[in-house]
Chains A and B, each alone.
Chain A
Amino acid sequence: MPTDTKRVRGPEVSQSPSLFDCRPSVVPPSHGTRADGRQRDQVDVRPVFVRCGLVSQAKGSAYIEAGDTKLLCSVYGPRETERKDETDMKCGRLTTDMRFAPFSCPERGSWIQGSQDKNFSLMLQESLQPALCLHKYPRSQIEVNVMVLENSGSVQAHAITCASLALADAGIEMYDLVLGCSIRQDGSSYVVDPTYSEESNWSSSEHQGGLTVAFLPSLNQVSGLQSDGEMAEETLTAGIRTCIEGCYKLYPVIQQALVKAVRKAQPPPPES
């Protein structure tokens, strides 16, 4: 059984008070507008706030806020590989680490098991790797660390966006930015960029599932794809198309944030 050896949990017999909640849990309705006013069945992503260069000690960093989801990413590198036996002579290595702060989820630390954290880090690595020009950094290692400060849904997708922004801020050569978008299928309708309650409530309809896509917009390539739950194949293909549209919607915002950060770091020469 996967156990979490890194976090200090409460005593074994203690349980979260939410289990004893007398009020019946509010299942978000499968029709009509969503709880935060967005539309279903439309590519309605939450407005994002992005800033680069927050962590002064890191080579590059980025902070993203989408609704209540808050993520911070910092990039260190390229630097010498720690373990000499894993040095690759021809191209660099990318190491990713995605962690959740214990207070980030409604249940303290217990929602994520130790080995499931690894799942997120692995998907992050697989999504970022195609976009980086690793052959330009032989014998080096680039470290990407994502910290989730508040988990209010769609964490994997925003982590991918945040990480690629931090990599660009660090000056690592990339082929394109990687943007992430996720969608939740609930019977016949879908919601884009789900919140935590939309993600975790399982209603009794036949087809339910979640899908996260990592996309490179200018190259039109999918670099990461992960789904779970049950979906028909047509809904899967439609879902991938919807996520790609969501990524295109997000692209200009991310580009603008990057340009702003570059301008701040190196102000353009004054017109003489």
Chain B
Amino acid sequence: MATVKVSEAEKVYILHGIRDDLRVDGRSCEDYRHMEVETDVVSNTDGSARVSLGHTAVLVGVKAEIGKPRPLVPDEGYLEFFVDCSANATPEFEGRGGEELGIELSNTLYRVFNNKNSVDLKGLCISAGEHCWVLYVDVLLLQCDGNLYDAISVAIKAALFNTKIPRVHMSSDDEGGKEVELSDDPFDCVRLSVENVPCIVTLCKVGHRHVVDATLQEKACSVASLIIAVTHRGTVTCVKKVGGGSLDPESIFEMTEAGKRVGKALHAPLMKLLQQEESLGKKREKVGFLG
């Protein structure tokens, strides 16, 4: 992960501030930075979203392709995640430097979505055992200023909301074989329900308190963080401890409770924003990357 070097005096300053619920930029311990979400930014994808959280910028593109279902679950489609840490973000990611971080992020995403309810996989099936939709979710890190998991999960939720899968139906051709036919209307498509897609909240343990949405400086002062993926109903789909330090069981319980609270509160405004953006349709002003 991109790191900054923080002096001892700065660490003490940050620690004392957090102890009194006042962070360096004036936020309280459970406040997020300014977040911007915009969907439909890349026209070649079936769904895309751009999220910028403070100085962290993430771009997600979703492409739907027809593939063969997995042998053990022939009546379900599946998702494939890939996270690319671009060298734009920090020179540490040049060449294969960002590969380790990318693999860690995509493995966590697989774990977060590894349950029946997040995405309706049965709805992605076209014909059992033969064809199904495979959603390739590709995440691109453009700028890295801490709190990657949160930004990525919000971007994935927005991109899946924006995804338009073409409507197909099976038809049998002359010899009795089956064929997949695309409908003639290019705007006839299926949308995904993202109600149950979880959002990830990262809580960093700094001193005796925990902070949500830590910047790189705050991360340098913490020994361990807890990642928790929460759905809008409050169910937890993944909990992971990251970092080289250890946590007290009591702090873990406190942090999961705070994470669940913060995560649950994130879903409603996000869905409202996405639906508002959708309803503007063509009249929406596109901000893009330079806005």
User: Are A and B subunits of one complex?
Assistant: yes
On chain A, the residues within 8 Å of B226 by CB distance are: 225
Known: A115-B103, A233-B256. A226 touches B244 (CB 8 A): no
Pick from B16-24, B157-165, B170-178, B246-254 the stretch touching chain A: B246-254
Task: Give 1 or 0 for each of B105-136: 1 = CB within 8 Å of chain A CB.
Answer: 01100111011110000000000000000000
- Of residues 242 through 265 on chain B, the ones whose CB sits less than 8 Å from some CB of chain A are 242-249, 252-253, 256-257, 260
Complex interface: chain A residues within 8 A of B256 (CB): 233, 236-237
Q: Is B142 interfacial (CB 8 A cutoff)?
A: no
When distances are taken between beta carbons in the complex, the residues of chain B under 8 Å from A115 are 103, 106-107
Q: In which size bucket is the chain B interface?
A: 35 or more
A167 near B: Cβ within 8 Å? no
Task: Give complex CA distance A74, B130 in Å.
Answer: 45
Bound: A208/B235 CA distance, A: 11
Say how far A242's CB is from chain B's closest CB, in angstroms. Answer: 12
A208 x B115 contact (CB < 8 A): yes
Indicate if B238 sits at the interface (CB-CB under 8 A): yes
Which residues A201-260 have CB closer than 8 A to chain B? 202, 207-209, 211, 216, 219-233, 236-237, 240-241, 244
Question: Quick one: which of B111, B224, B246 contacts A228, CB cutoff 8 A?
Answer: B111
Specify which of B244, B246, B248, B257 is in contact with A233 (CB 8 Å cutoff): B257
* CA–CA, A244 and B112, complex, Å: 23
Known: A126-B244, A221-B247. A233 touches B260 (CB 8 A): yes
Q: Does B153 contact A (CB under 8 A)?
A: no
Cross-chain contact of A240 among B117, B245, B249 (Cβ < 8 A): B249
What is the CB-to-nearest-CB distance from B207 to chain A, in angstroms, rounded to a whole number? 16
Contact A118 B116 (CB under 8 A): no
Interface membership of A19, Cβ < 8 A:
yes
Nearest CB in chain A: distance from B16 CB, A: 24
A130 adjacent to B234 (CB under 8 Å): no
Give Cα A91 to B190, complex, Å: 55
A240 touches B252 (CB 8 A): yes
A–B Cβ pairs within 8 angstroms, 17 of them: A1-B82, A126-B242, A129-B244, A129-B245, A209-B115, A221-B247, A223-B241, A223-B247, A226-B240, A227-B240, A228-B114, A229-B237, A230-B115, A231-B235, A233-B256, A233-B257, A237-B253
* Chain A contacts to B: CB under 8 angstroms: 1-2, 15, 19, 115-116, 118-119, 122, 126, 129-131, 202, 207-209, 211, 216, 219-233, 236-237, 240-241, 244
Given contacts A221-B247, A223-B246, 5 further A-B contacts (CB under 8 A): A116-B110, A118-B104, A230-B115, A230-B236, A233-B257
Q: Which residues of B contact A (CB under 8 A)?
A: 71-72, 80, 82, 103-104, 106-107, 110-112, 114-117, 224, 226, 231, 234-249, 252-253, 256-257, 260
Report, nearest first, the 8 A-B pairs whose CB atoms are least far apart: A130-B246, A221-B246, A225-B241, A223-B246, A129-B244, A227-B239, A119-B107, A228-B111
